[in-house]
């Protein structure tokens, strides 16, 4: 979009929201019954399907029970055999018996709520869009790239090395809860790195040896209740640009994934974690594992809390080129993507903003942009 009076006006209104430093929550606190015009989305970005039968219980993201996977070889093989088709067709799966106590999950969601609902002075001090900051609080996502206001606030925490977490850098109100969660997710991530390697027929430590499976960022989202949920969106349609996302959501609902050309509700199941492949996983698996688009619609109920933990490359590898894993290529599975570094990818992804055209096709050797 080139500059125009309309765009200038829009950017001005977005900046006004940013300048309050109190998020969408701050707007809701002021007691509004209608959402500000800037949040209104074109209806086609919110509406679902003509065919509501898609949301039948038969159409649910596969649930994988990890119980005993590490003690009983046949259970492990079973889990690997469930993960493979889930990532090939859905791009998503849910896990139960993942080893993280429900109390750790609930504490993270509760303290996320407490962070976003504490007196404004306390959260304002973290408000920033400075990407060099490891801990920051901001509203409505990447609003300047996406150029649309979205109905959510986020606390973002970056980790260089999850074995040396500096708890002091996190807001006090959720410090312990974030630390506990990240320690546990770290163990789960190591398990997933092995199971996904095996699901591709590679040796268990393949992804670990590529050093591409490291926890880098945790986003603690807060979606305030919305007085006009049919008019705006919590998070726009997007795919995650990373390797993998481990997502914890509360019981409010609103997450939808684009499956078989339809938007499908991901009904919350208590105690489960959702896992989804990101664009870089699709790239290094040469299209075998899919990075599927998803979004979050708003509701009058709420607030809704979720925590998205992004797995990708540690800082030292972010400018190193990665391409499809050689062992996966054959005359039946020819190379599809060129090598790219994480930094090159994320720069291109960010330049498009959410809800744009997909970023991944740009890296195909045939170089089609669709
Ligand atoms: C994300 C995301 C979904 C959610 O942060 O990329 O898709 O439920 N979040 O908050
Ligand atoms: Ni996402």
Atom of ligand 1 lying closest to residue 294 CA: 7
Which tens digit of pLDDT belongs to each residue from 187-213?
999 999 999 999 999 999 999 999 999
Residue 63: name the closest of 245, 221, 267 by CA: 267
Phi and psi, residue 369, nearest 5° = -100, 25
Q: What is the CATH number of the domain that holds 308?
A: 2.60.120.330
> Which residues are paired to 228 by β-bridges?
none
As given in the structure block, the two tokens for residue 221 are 């989202």
Compute the half-sphere exposure of residue 156: CA atoms within 13 Å on the CB side of its CA. 22
Mean pLDDT of 123-141: 93
Contact assessment for residue 105 and residue 95, using Cβ atoms and an 8 Å cutoff = no
What is the average pLDDT value for the chain, to the nearest integer? 92
Range of the domain at 107: 5-369
Mean pLDDT of 107-133: 96
Task: Give 33 Cα–ligand 2 centroid separation in angstroms.
Answer: 28
Task: Give 240 Cα–ligand 1 centroid separation in angstroms.
Answer: 9
Atom of ligand 1 lying closest to residue 308 CA: 5
Q: Are strands 244-249 and 273-277 parallel, antiparallel or unpaired?
A: antiparallel
Total domain count for the chain? 1
User: Other C-beta atoms within 10 Å of 41: how many?
Assistant: 18
- Chain centroid, CA 363 distance in Å: 21
- List residues near ligand 1 (CB under 6 A): 219, 221, 235, 240, 247, 249, 255, 294, 296, 306, 308
- Ligand nearest, relative to CA of residue 221: 1
Say which residue the tokens 């994320």 belong to.
Answer: 346
Which tens digit of pLDDT belongs to each residue from 326-369?
999 999 999 999 999 999 999 999 888 776 779 999 999 985 55
Which tens digit of pLDDT belongs to each residue from 151-165?
999 999 999 877 788
Model confidence at 370, pLDDT cuts 50, 70, 90, reads: very low
How far apart CA 157 and CA 172 sit, in angstroms, is 13
């Amino acid at each position: 979009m080139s500059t125009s009076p309309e765009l200038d006006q829009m950017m001005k209104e977005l900046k006004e929201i940013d300048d309050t430093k109190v998020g969408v929550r701050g707007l809701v606190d002021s007691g509004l019954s209608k959402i500000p015009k800037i949040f209104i989305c074109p209806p086609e970005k919110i509406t679902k399907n003509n065919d509501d039968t898609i949301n039948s219980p038969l159409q649910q993201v596969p649930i994988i029970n990890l119980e005993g996977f590490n003690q009983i070889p046949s259970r492990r093989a079973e889990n690997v055999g469930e993960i493979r088709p889930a990532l090939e067709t859905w791009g998503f799966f849910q896990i139960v018996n993942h080893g993280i106590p429900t109390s750790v999950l609930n504490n993270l969601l509760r303290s996320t709520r407490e962070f976003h609902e504490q007196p404004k002075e306390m959260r304002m001090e973290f408000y920033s869009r400075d990407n060099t900051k490891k801990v920051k609080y901001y509203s409505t996502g990447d609003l300047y790239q996406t150029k649309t206001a979205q109905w959510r606030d986020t606390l973002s925490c970056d980790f260089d090395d999850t074995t040396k977490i500096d708890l002091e850098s996190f807001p006090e109100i959720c410090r312990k809860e974030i630390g506990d969660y990240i320690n546990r997710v770290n163990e789960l991530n190591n398990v997933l790195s092995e199971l996904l390697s095996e699901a591709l027929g590679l040796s268990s430590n393949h992804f670990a040896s590529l050093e591409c499976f490291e926890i880098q960022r945790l986003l603690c989202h807060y979606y305030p209740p919305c007085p006009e949920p049919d008019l705006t969106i919590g998070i726009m349609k997007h795919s995650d640009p990373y390797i993998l996302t481990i997502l914890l959501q509360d019981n409010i609902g609103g997450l939808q994934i684009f499956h078989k050309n339809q938007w499908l509700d991901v009904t919350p199941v208590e105690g489960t974690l959702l896992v989804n492949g990101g664009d870089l996983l699709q790239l290094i698996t040469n299209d075998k594992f899919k990075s599927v688009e998803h979004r979050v619609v708003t509701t009058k109920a709420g607030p809704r809390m979720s925590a998205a933990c992004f797995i990708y490359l540690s800082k030292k590898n972010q400018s190193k080129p990665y391409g499809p894993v050689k062992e996966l290529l054959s005359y039946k599975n020819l190379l599809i993507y060129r090598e790219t570094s994480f930094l090159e990818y994320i720069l291109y992804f960010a330049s498009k903003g959410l809800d744009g055209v997909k970023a991944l096709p740009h890296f195909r050797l045939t170089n089609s942009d669709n």
